[in-house]
Structure 1
Amino acid sequence: MFDTLTERLSESLRKIKGQGRLTEANVEATLREVRTALLEADVALPVVREFIEQVKTRALGQEVQKALSPGQVMIKIVNDELVAVMGKANQKLSLATQPPATILMAGLQGAGKTTTVAKLARWIKENERKSVLVTSADIYRPAAIEQLQTLAAEVGAEFFPSDPSQDPVDIVNAALAHGRKKYFDVVIVDTAGRLHIDEDMMDEIKRLHAAIKPIETLFVVDSMTGQDAANTAKAFNDALPLTGVILTKTDGDARGGAALSIRHITGKPIKFLGIGEKTAALEVFHPDRLASRILGMGDVLTLIEEVERKMDREKAEKLAKKIHKGKGFDLNDYRDQLLQIKSMGGVAAMLDKLPGVAGMPKEAKDKVNDKEMVQQLAIINSMTPQERQSPDIINPSRKRRISMGSGTDVADLNRLLKQHDQMQKVMKKFKKGNIANLLRGLKGQMGGHRPPF
């Protein structure tokens, strides 16, 4: 996410970091590069102008002149201003009302609205421990109603049926009545999208809003449309009292213009990021953490939270006890760790949140993909239980059988065994051998919540 912007900003700030003192000349030169990087990222021009002016004022002010390391303070200023542009702090989903709390989802067609309804339902169930009812008022696309019904079953939310012959207001009123009768905590309403903003669309969603008086009105927008996403959000906000924005498809957005423009243009907070197609791929938006990620300093806190939320605690405790007793780390354990990484979006998604990755050569980053992880899982699955437990017994004839069974080469198997051996050595250094503890070590090195300036 935001690879291009990260690369350009990191390069610009790296040059000034080594300066003994900041002058108007080197600050101007750096900010010219930063301005270009932001414009290339499709950040709205008014946002760029204000951002550059704020950084310049602070960079030439007393806080930098008195600093022991002005170059590093300059990086901190850029970080702080990025956070300010995106909203300073995370604004939580508001569900504090007489149940059911109603959430109205709005947006253009193609933004991923229906999928986001399911993602949000799953997030609320898993993180807020609340029961969720979903319904679709999109009477123009029967396929959208069917899609939501399928996704609701997948995430464990109840689906309230609707039909293209019904009036959208009748649908939502019936859904709310059902929600009250069955004591649901939250009702999420999916609405019709259009290919562009039109008067009929706005009139309909205004009627829906007036009928259900939602506690949250969330605008779902495709981040890959850049500053157009911010302009579209503003148009909706002029018609509806939006309470927040969900940015979708951020995993495919190398620029980041939408994330940096929306708050400034609409005045509304970004509450969530859609980071993939799966229903678990929804991430709470933290401006400070995203600023750190944009500047190439990672987001270890989010990664730790994700690991702790998704890891199998029972398996982790068994592994910790096993390693603590000196029983080693076998290929069954290695397989469990790979599956945990896969459940968090894969290796590339995790690396995006680790500090220092932005400084890796492009060739090295391009080699990071999940193909090898899938291949390694296939190899381990082709082994017998005895071979997984005692890899030392895997002789040349066993290697040939395992490779044929997994559709790989013996060289791939040898590489897996070598990596397992290296990981076994690392795990021995930790009393509780799991990914979460490895990441907590990184968190400690970061000094808690602040990035290392």
Structure 2
Amino acid sequence: MVFESLAEKLQNTLGKLKGKGKLSEKDVKNAMREVKLALLEADVNFKVVKNFINTVKERSIGQEVMESLTPGQQVIKIVNEELTKLMGESESKIEFAPNPPTVIMMCGLQGAGKTTTSGKLGALLKKKGKRPLLVACDVYRPAAIKQLQVVGDKVDIPVFAMGNKQSPVDIAKAALEHGKKHGNDLIIIDTAGRLHIDENLMEELQNIKSEVNPNEILLVLDAMTGQDAVNVAETFDNKLGINGVVLTKLDGDARGGAALSIRAVTDKPIKFVGLGEKLDQLEPFHPDRMASRILGMGDVLSLIEKAQASIDDKKARELEKKLRNQEFTFEDFLDQLEQMKNMGPLSQILEMIPGMGSKQLKNLNVDDKELVKIESIIQSMTKAERVNPNIIDGSRRKRIAKGSGNKIQDVNRLLKQFKETKKMMKKFSGLEKSMKKKGKFNFPMFK
């Protein structure tokens, strides 16, 4: 889970307040002490923590909370609002040039994931109708140009490269002209990084900036480095003037110090976050949604957006019809699994559901390997078996188990679950018909 340890501590602390009918000033102060410790342990900047706690405490012991019917919930609401404010209040979007092409310059230290992020960003904006061009300006790191070309091939985006003998400034200038000639309305420049900040790196980036005049300078930072990431952001902003930050490896960051500190320390927004290694796992950063997820309130909007992007509308309507008529087969099940996998890891999907806080997710065995196992079992069935599972006798079960590399018990379990699901759908469908006849309500899922 994103921010797992921080989320768990905050949810536990604030959960204690929720059940109280009345809150004293002492209750609030004790809770804020725990929140303060949780934030400091999460490697959030000390000054940021101090200001955050003072603001929440001041608002929480005010009249609106103490005289409220549900003071605990009011405090949680205040924490949610202040967390959102801390991370930037609302989504910060890319500023596209009124006259294309828009030039985005990617910068950062080595190892933060700059090259992969350049490809991810190109793929994300390509889906929104842009025609991106990736530019290989890292002429120092071995195989950096090749890496960008491989990434470009995977996301079907052209890569402009001139080898490692030309200067990065000349490459950037030539790429801009190339993009204009070939109708690319978005130029993403992948620049060189270093293992640490030095004058040569900054001078080169400043020279590229002055030559191509980028619309956006995005700093790519590894979220798992915590306060180091914030210090790097400060230095890059002072030397170069960045427009925003892309936080990578946020899915592996159980603490959250960088995400909660960057905006307050640098006054620069987090524009995108990387939530996995796959090239489609880059998302716009929504402070309000992230605050809700940290506090276990879910993130329904992101869940809906993921579903809309991943699930075929026509197939969904066909599936609804099949469910109504009890014609759902393992072929349909396999298709649904594929679409579900496109939405991302199960743990990330579940944490978007309201009420599925860190405590519930901890007790729930969320394992994407189970989906792979189910998929392998279904794929080991013949087409006739998928359409009509009733023909799967003992010998067929043995063959399916062997072919999928699973146990016969796994095959039996899946067949039993499938049968029970069909029975349940039949009951719902029958109940809906009965309600319609009596002139009562309809179930929304069967409309």
Same fold per superposition (TM over 0.5): yes
Alpha-carbon shift at residue 333 of structure 1 (Å): 1.2
Alpha-carbon shift at residue 423 of structure 1 (Å): 4.1
Which residue of 2 is the match for residue 257 of structure 1? 257
Aligned residues of 2:56 and 2:78 also touching (Cα < 8 A): yes
Alpha-carbon shift at residue 313 of structure 1 (Å): 3.0
Cα-Cα RMSD: 1.8
Aligned residues of 1:145 and 1:162 also touching (Cα < 8 A): no
C-alpha distance 26-281 of structure 1, shift in aligned 2 (>3 A) = same
Letter paired with 2:160: F
Letter paired with 1:236: F
Which residue of 1 is the match for residue 392 of structure 2? 394
Which residue of 2 is the match for residue 328 of structure 1? 327
Which residue of 2 is the match for residue 436 of structure 1? none
Partners of 1:17 and 1:64 in 2: CA distance: 12
Q: 1:404 aligns with which of 402, 405, 422?
A: 402
Spell out, residue by residue over 1:65-85, the C-alpha distance to the aligned partner (whole angstroms, 9 max, x if none): 232110100000000000000
Spell out, residue by residue over 1:159-185, the C-alpha distance to the aligned partner (whole angstroms, 9 max, x if none): 112211001110000000001111111
Which residue of 1 is the match for residue 301 of structure 2? 301
**What SS does structure 1 have at the residue aligned with 2:247?**
strand
Aligned residues of 1:142 and 1:163 also touching (Cα < 8 A): no
Alpha-carbon shift at residue 241 of structure 1 (Å): 1.8
Which residue of 1 is the match for residue 10 of structure 2? 9
Which residue of 1 is the match for residue 39 of structure 2? 38
Q: How many residues align?
A: 430
C-alpha distance 426-32 of structure 1, shift in aligned 2 (>3 A) = farther
Alpha-carbon shift at residue 337 of structure 1 (Å): 1.5
Alpha-carbon shift at residue 217 of structure 1 (Å): 0.7
Alpha-carbon shift at residue 363 of structure 1 (Å): 5.6
Aligned residues of 2:223 and 2:248 also touching (Cα < 8 A): yes
Which residue of 1 is the match for residue 239 of structure 2? 239
Aligned residues of 2:110 and 2:193 also touching (Cα < 8 A): yes
Aligned residues of 2:351 and 2:361 also touching (Cα < 8 A): no
C-alpha distance 425-117 of structure 1, shift in aligned 2 (>3 A) = farther
Letter paired with 1:418: K
Partners of 2:269 and 2:292 in 1: CA distance: 18
Letter paired with 2:286: H
Partners of 1:66 and 1:17 in 2: CA distance: 15
Partners of 1:146 and 1:202 in 2: CA distance: 24
Aligned residues of 1:135 and 1:175 also touching (Cα < 8 A): yes
Aligned residues of 1:296 and 1:356 also touching (Cα < 8 A): yes
Alpha-carbon shift at residue 264 of structure 1 (Å): 0.4
> 1:46-445 residue pairs with structure 2 within 5 A?
46-126=47-127, 128-324=128-324, 326-358=325-357, 360-361=359-360, 364-365=363-364, 367-424=365-422, 429=428
Flag the structure with larger Rg: 2
Letter paired with 2:396: R
C-alpha distance 363-56 of structure 1, shift in aligned 2 (>3 A) = closer
Partners of 2:261 and 2:214 in 1: CA distance: 25
C-alpha distance 51-421 of structure 1, shift in aligned 2 (>3 A) = farther
Letter paired with 1:405: G
C-alpha distance 88-363 of structure 1, shift in aligned 2 (>3 A) = closer
Aligned residues of 1:99 and 1:183 also touching (Cα < 8 A): no
TM-score (norm 2): 0.93
C-alpha distance 88-314 of structure 1, shift in aligned 2 (>3 A) = same
Letter paired with 1:208: I
Alpha-carbon shift at residue 317 of structure 1 (Å): 3.0
Alpha-carbon shift at residue 310 of structure 1 (Å): 1.7
Letter paired with 1:241: G
Partners of 2:349 and 2:154 in 1: CA distance: 24
Spell out, residue by residue over 1:245-279, the C-alpha distance to the aligned partner (whole angstroms, 9 max, x if none): 10000111111111100000110110111000110
Aligned residues of 1:12 and 1:34 also touching (Cα < 8 A): yes
C-alpha distance 277-430 of structure 1, shift in aligned 2 (>3 A) = farther
Aligned residues of 2:4 and 2:358 also touching (Cα < 8 A): no
Aligned residues of 2:137 and 2:161 also touching (Cα < 8 A): no
Shifted more, 331-340 versus 45-54: the winner is 331-340
Alpha-carbon shift at residue 422 of structure 1 (Å): 4.4
**What SS does structure 2 have at the residue aligned with 1:345?**
coil
Letter paired with 2:231: N
Which residue of 2 is the match for residue 449 of structure 1? none
